[in-house]
Amino acid sequence: MMRSFAKWHIWLAWLVGVPILMWTVTGLVMVAKPIEEVRGNHLRKDVTEQALPSDTQIAITLPADSTKPVRAVTTQVERGETVTRIAYMDGTSDRFRADGGRMSPLTDIEARLLVAERIAGGDQVTETNHFAADEVPLDFRRPEPVWQVALADGTHVYVGTETGAIEAVRTRWWRVFDFVWGLHIMDLQEREDTHHPTLIAFAILSVLGSLLGCILMFRRRKARPGPAA
C-alpha cells in the first residue's frame, strides 16, 4: 500500500507542483508590504474638513419624477463652497450648491485640484483621462464615471465625476498586488472569482498530495547493510 501511495504522491506532485509554488510565491508578494501601504492610504493627506458656518441654510428640491431611494445625504465645505451630496442606492449621486442648484459633473481641472490638495505628490500630474461607468480600467473596477489622474510616480488617483470625491488610489505596487492576486485565485481576467472549478480542483489535489506526503513520512525504511568487515 505504501508503494501505491508513493506512486500517487509522485504523480500528484508533478500535477500540482507548479500551482503550489505559484500560491506560495504570490502569497509572499501579497504580504511583502502592509495592506494600508498597498491601498495607498499613506499618500492621503490628513486634511481637516472646514466646518459649516452656523447660519448655513440649504434648500434642495429633487425633481418630482425622481424615485431613486436615497442612501445618504452629506453637506461639507469643498474648496470654500458649501456642497451637499446625495448618494443613491444604485451607486449614483448628485451634488448641489447651498442655493439648491445642481452642480455639473467634475471637470478635469477640478479633479487635478482635488488630487493636489488631498494626495501627497498630487501636484505632479502627467495626464488625466475620463472613463464612463461601463469603461473603467481594470485597476478601478467600479461601475461609476471617474477621472483618472496619473501621477509621476505611477500612481493612479480616481476621482468621481458625480461624487466629486477621491474614490480610489492605485499605486504601482497595488497593481502588482492585484496581478498576483489574480494568479493566486487563478482568475486573471476579472480577479474577483474565488469560487470556480479550476481553483477548487487544484486545491483538492494539493490537499491529497500533502496528505499522502504526511502518510509516507511514517513509512518504514529497510536498514541499509553495513560495510563488509
CB atoms within 10 A of CB 166: 21
Per-residue confidence at 226, pLDDT binned at 50, 70, 90? low
Are 151 and 82 a contacting pair, CB within 8 Å? Answer: no
Q: Which amino acid is at 105?
A: P
Residues 6 or more apart whose CB falls under 8 angstroms from that of 204 comprise none
How far from chain centre, in Å, is Cα 204? 27
Are 99 and 93 a contacting pair, CB within 8 Å? Answer: no
Q: Which of 63, 106, 65, 108 is nearest to 83 (CA)?
A: 106
For 97-138, the pLDDT digits (tens) are: 777 778 888 899 999 999 999 999 999 999 999 999 899 999
For 163-209, the pLDDT digits (tens) are: 888 999 999 999 999 999 999 999 998 899 999 999 999 888 888 88
Per-residue confidence at 8, pLDDT binned at 50, 70, 90? low
Per-residue DSSP letter, 85: E
Are 112 and 123 a contacting pair, CB within 8 Å? Answer: no
Are 121 and 149 a contacting pair, CB within 8 Å? Answer: no
Residues 6 or more apart whose CB falls under 8 angstroms from that of 8 comprise 212
Residue the block writes with cell 470654500:
80
